[in-house]
Amino acid sequence: MGAAAIRLGVDIGGTFTDVVLEDGGGARVSAKVLTTLAAPEDAILEGIREVCRKADVAPGAIGQIIHGTTLATNALIERRGAKTALVTTKGFRDVIEMRTESRFEQYDLDLTLPEPLLPRNRRYVVTERVEATGRVLVPLDRAEVEALAEDLKAAEYDSVAIGLLHSYVNDAHEKAIRDVLAARLPGVALSLSSEVSPQMREYERFNTTIANAYIKPLMASYLGRLRERLAAEGVAAPVFLMHSGGGIISLETAAEFPVRLVESGPAGGAVFAADIAARHGLDKVLSFDMGGTTAKICLIRGRTPKTARVFEVARSYRFKKGSGMPISIPVIDMVEIGAGGGSLARVDAMRQIRVGPESAGSVPGPASYGRGGERPAVTDADLVLGKLDADNFAGGSIALYPDRAERALATALGEPLGMDPVEAAYGLAEVVDENMANAARVHAVENGEDISTYTMIAFGGAAPLHAARLCEKLGIARCLVPQGAGVGSAIGFLRAPFAFEANRTMLTRMSAFDGAAIAALFRDMAAEATAFVRSCDAAAPIRCDHKVYMRYRGQGWEIPVALCEADARAPEGATLLALFEREYSALFGRSVDGAEAEITVFSVNATTPAAKVRPAAAVPAGARVAPTGSRALFDAALGAPAEAALYPREDFGPGAFADGPALLTEAETTIVVPASRRAVALADGSIDVALKDTRR
């Protein structure tokens, strides 16, 4: 990368904008500034000035900026997008409003469905029809499209989404409409479903295309402003963007397909964990990121986070599946649940403790903040159980009031359940930990994985408080808490490769397998994906990973099957079938005799080589660290309190260790080491919290 020796990772989150500067030698400084929603570039520049000052480098010396942002997600959630129209096939105006025609909550008579992204009067139809085979059934009428263009012009739309039935097989009509609109509506952004998300299932594809169109003008304008401000500041470095699939794309590609930026922050977190995994030579890693309102869980195999093709944003009903809108783009497969430090607890009709997804936020915050919060939050339980130090929370910047936490726990949980405050806190913590453990367990099962063989990597402010208990529940022997966990996503951006994934639906029965046609499709897709990557880096070698999604004919769920390069170049039916049956058996225990298999989706991911891993040095034999004090810590596995030794994290040089029960404190968080575990500092500063009887 030459001049790119100094690189900058920039993550705009809902509350904070994190900026991380790293030089070629791996030295790193970071800044955390408040996000400026009205003009997000302001916070970035403030952060850049701060890290440049800290690192003593001139802005002009920055070689490359990698940027991720929640702006796209927030614009969708808050409905702050452009005036957007949809043009679709006659007879299908209401696809995004009718959704799956089901209710995401079965027993609520007062259920409110989410509003579609575009109201009905912004959805237009044209006479045309393509069959499932791609054959044109009703040709497009150009005069009708021209008349429609005049209507759209008169209504002054900023952006238009074009989504027609079966356009993933035949995109001719979508392209013809684009040509007419482009000629008659100069300056209006256009998004085609056959380009944004060429996959079968009209609801997902249309919604994704509309989401893209909806945020396109906003993101294009923001990215343009950012580039100008950076230039004015003397930063000449090119800006690249992190996408939801865990790779980096050019600013131009991002402006064309901004929907791919949704969830780029959490994707950075997963890439961060993947890099730590690689440094420590870990093949199977569970990344666990717990903040104030949610926890995110992701599986990482062979330093690559699991990916998926569809996810849901803007869930409107207690994070419930189906209450948001589906976006079908390549995305790192993460489970997000409403469990964070601020998640509130209550007792339901069955006298069961429930925690989250409702959160106390920062105002009023948990009861122990003393800012008017009356209901117990996870942080309150952590305080009462001894995991947190009332006088030294967030580096001493927020005073905690244990009496208020106890009172809230007693009122909300203790009295109805006949528990004292400590038992109530224990119950609360166990329930939230169980919720997270269940989410991880189910996610692992869905991917055919045995979670107990994984190593956890924990980051985010609340994760180190809960990670060890999760490990106990999941039977996981080892958990790493890396350094820099507070700005993990921004660091992750610096570890991501340039990458672009192309997906195409082409239903292919194994009985009608045409190897030459598939090889040609793969070549086309590889050329498309490679071109996007090439626009980011003119010189780097580019590798293409090929995947097919397969199922038995008649099933509705495909499973991914990875192909080696030779199989992608000259695909053979028998080989693919064998690979599929192996994967299927691994997932579900047995393959199905006599059923025919088929391929639904083809996928090519073009990527530059992953950032060079700096392997962590071997851990020297270190000494037991001397504690600076002790405190009562409730040990959930024992169901009883224990006296925990206290240590500042900075006292742990490489190899230094301490046995649980112990608490390692730092400004950002506290690492809880229960009686079952030992904490050892690794060469890169990560703390390894592992079962005591595990010998390395």
Partner 1 sequence: MTAPGKISTVAQQVIWNRLISVVEEQAQALVRTAFSTSVREAGDLSAGIYNEKGEMLAQAVTGTPGHVNAMAAAVAHFIRRIGRQSMFEGDVYLTNDPWEGTGHLHDITVVTPSFYQGRLIGFFASTAHVVDIGGRGFGADANSVFEEGLYLPIMKFAERGTVDRTLVAIIRGNVREPDQLVGDIYALATCNEIGHRRLVDTLKEFALDDLEAISAFILENSRRATLERIAALPRGRATGAMRIDGYDRPIDISVALAFENDRVTCDFAGTSPVDKKGINVPLVYTKAYACYALKCAIAPEIPNNAASLAPFEITAPPGSILAAERPAPVALRHVIGQMIPDAIFDALDKLLPGRIPAEGAGCLCNFQVSLRPRSDAPAPDAVRAEVLMFNSGGSGARAAQDGMSATAFPSGVMTMPVEATEQAGPIIIWRKELRPDSGGGGTFRGGLGQLMEIGPREGQEFDISAMLDRIHHPARGRHGGADGGATTIALDDGTALRGKGKQFVPPQRRVEMAFPGGAGYGDPAARDPVLVRRDLAHGYISAEVARSTYGLGEAEIADILQEAKRGDLF
187 makes contact with partner 1 (CB under 8 A)? no
Judged by CB under 8 A, the residue of 41, 128, 195, 202 near partner 1 is: 202
Judged by CB under 8 A, the residue of 92, 317, 319, 401 near partner 1 is: 92
Least spacing, CB of residue 111 vs partner 1, in Å: 7
Are residues 602 and 523 in contact, defined by beta-carbon separation less than 8 angstroms?
no
Evaluated on CA atoms 268, 269, 270, 273, the torsion sign reads positive
Are residues 74 and 15 in contact, defined by beta-carbon separation less than 8 angstroms?
no
473 makes contact with partner 1 (CB under 8 A)? yes
Candidate ranges 82-90, 336-344, 371-379, 397-405; the one touching partner 1 (CB under 8 A)? 82-90
Residues 506-525 that bind partner 1 (CB under 8 A): 507
- CB closer to partner 1, 261 vs 577: 577
Candidate ranges 96-104, 208-216, 513-521, 645-653; the one touching partner 1 (CB under 8 A)? 96-104
Distance CA 581, CA 565 (A): 19
- CB closer to partner 1, 19 vs 337: 337
Residues 152-171 that bind partner 1 (CB under 8 A): 154-157, 165-166, 168
Residues 592-621 that bind partner 1 (CB under 8 A): 592, 594-595
Least spacing, CB of residue 252 vs partner 1, in Å: 28
Residues 429-458 that bind partner 1 (CB under 8 A): 430-431, 434-435, 438, 441-442, 445-446
- CB closer to partner 1, 2 vs 589: 589
- CB closer to partner 1, 4 vs 308: 308
310 makes contact with partner 1 (CB under 8 A)? no
By DSSP bridging, strand 84-89 and strand 159-163 are parallel
224 makes contact with partner 1 (CB under 8 A)? no
- CB closer to partner 1, 14 vs 560: 560
- CB closer to partner 1, 32 vs 466: 466
Task: Return the bridge partners of 286, or none.
Answer: 299, 456
String of contacts with partner 1 for each residue 339-378, x by CB under 8 A: ---------xxxxxx-------------------------
Three state DSSP letters for 398-413: ECCCHHHHHHHHHHHH
Longest C-alpha distance within the chain, in Å? 83
Three state DSSP letters for 484-539: CHHHHHHHHHHHCCEEEEEEEEEEEEHHHCCHHHHHHHHHHHHHHHHHHHHCCCCC
201 makes contact with partner 1 (CB under 8 A)? yes
CA-wise closest residue to 677 among 381, 663, 666: 663
Residues 237-296 that bind partner 1 (CB under 8 A): none
- To the nearest 10°, the Cα dihedral for 308, 312, 313, 317? -150
- CB closer to partner 1, 125 vs 540: 125
State the CB neighbour count (10 A cutoff) for residue 659: 14
- CB closer to partner 1, 101 vs 391: 101
String of contacts with partner 1 for each residue 569-588, x by CB under 8 A: ------------------xx
Judged by CB under 8 A, the residue of 2, 25, 26, 102 near partner 1 is: 102
Least spacing, CB of residue 130 vs partner 1, in Å: 10
Three state DSSP letters for 592-620: CCCCCEEEEEEEEEEECCCCCCCCCCCCC
464 makes contact with partner 1 (CB under 8 A)? no
Candidate ranges 108-116, 296-304, 385-393, 688-696; the one touching partner 1 (CB under 8 A)? 108-116
Least spacing, CB of residue 673 vs partner 1, in Å: 21
DSSP code, position 343: E
- CB closer to partner 1, 319 vs 401: 319
User: φ, ψ for residue 375 (rounded to 5)?
Assistant: -100, 145
Judged by CB under 8 A, the residue of 129, 280, 469, 678 near partner 1 is: 129
Please enumerate in sequence order all residues whose Cβ is within 8 A of that of 265, keeping only pairs 6 or more positions apart, or say none: 11, 12, 13, 68, 69, 70, 242, 489
- CB closer to partner 1, 258 vs 414: 414
Query: Which tokens sit at 651?
Result: 């006292």
Query: Which tokens sit at 250?
Result: 């050019």
Query: Which tokens sit at 559?
Result: 């499973």
Please enumerate in sequence order all residues whose Cβ is within 8 A of that of 445, keeping only pairs 6 or more positions apart, or say none: none
End-to-end CA distance of the chain: 37
Judged by CB under 8 A, the residue of 42, 50, 97, 252 near partner 1 is: 97
Cα 621 to chain center, whole Å?
A: 37
Distance CA 427, CA 420 (A): 10
590 makes contact with partner 1 (CB under 8 A)? yes
State the CB neighbour count (10 A cutoff) for residue 101: 6
